[in-house]
Amino acid sequence: GENVEQHPSTLSVQEGDSAVIKCTYSDSASNYFPWYKQELGKRPQLIIDIRSNVGEKKDQRIAVTLNKTAKHFSLHITETQPEDSAVYFCAALDTGRRALTFGSGTRLQVQP
Amino acid sequence: GAGVSQSPSNKVTEKGKDVELRCDPISGHTALYWYRQSLGQGLEFLIYFQGNSAPDKSGLPSDRFSAERTGGSVSTLTIQRTQQEDSAVYLCASSLALSRGLETQYFGPGTRLLVL
């Protein structure tokens, strides 16, 4: 089955700086890669996703890049704000199970 | 429209008791998933249902865990003879389908289970 590794586990940046979170996956057949943001005590919220026929996708301050050959994808947040502080999870769609396999999460802290 | 809902929001039980957790998916979503999130950890897949097909139970950690989905809508996750290691947040998600472009999963608020 799919295995997803996520780095770093914690990330602290100054307000206004950029943040990058990286994930690798093992199943070359995976074709859907969402990113979720989870605030303390809240449900995971989808913030952006990318499918395997696309190399990059942007939504305002958030972008995701996908390198299918290397089997890794990254989340980029520019001009970070304190409200970006949360735990971010990457995931890959396990084509065998058709369920998401999640990374272990990155705790992002944006210092004002 | 209404999102995924779950009940109860919190459940405290004694070791050895059975518990039932409920999930109401988004109306019209044919796929429903259960995940477990232990404190400070990622999300662990448990089981999913797609329409009237047999569920994929490959993530269930033991035979004490079972789930059903009645009428293709509401789902119940049952944990029998609960153990302290079952303490976690149980999250339900639903998606329109499993087909390409329809697979985005939306999560419910979760049920926080504490086994004493």
Residue of B nearest to A52 (CA): B100
Summarize pLDDT for B11-61 with one digit per residue, the tens: 999 999 999 999 999 998 999 999 999 987 889 999 999 888 889 998 999
CA distance B116 to A84: 35
Given a cut of 80, whether residue B87 has pLDDT beyond it is yes
What's the confidence (pLDDT) of residue B41?
81
How high is the pLDDT of residue B13? 97
**pLDDT class of B97 with cuts at 50, 70, 90:** confident
List CB contacts of A55: < 8 A, sequence separation 6 or more.
Answer: A65, A66, A67
Each residue of B99-108: pLDDT tens digit? 766 788 999 9
When CB atoms are compared, the residue of A51, A89, A97 closest to B45 is A97
Whether the CB of A23 is below 8 Å from some CB of chain B: the reply is no
What is the Cα–Cα distance from B40 to B42, expressed in whole angstroms? 7
Put simply, whether B7 touches A (Cβ < 8 Å) is no
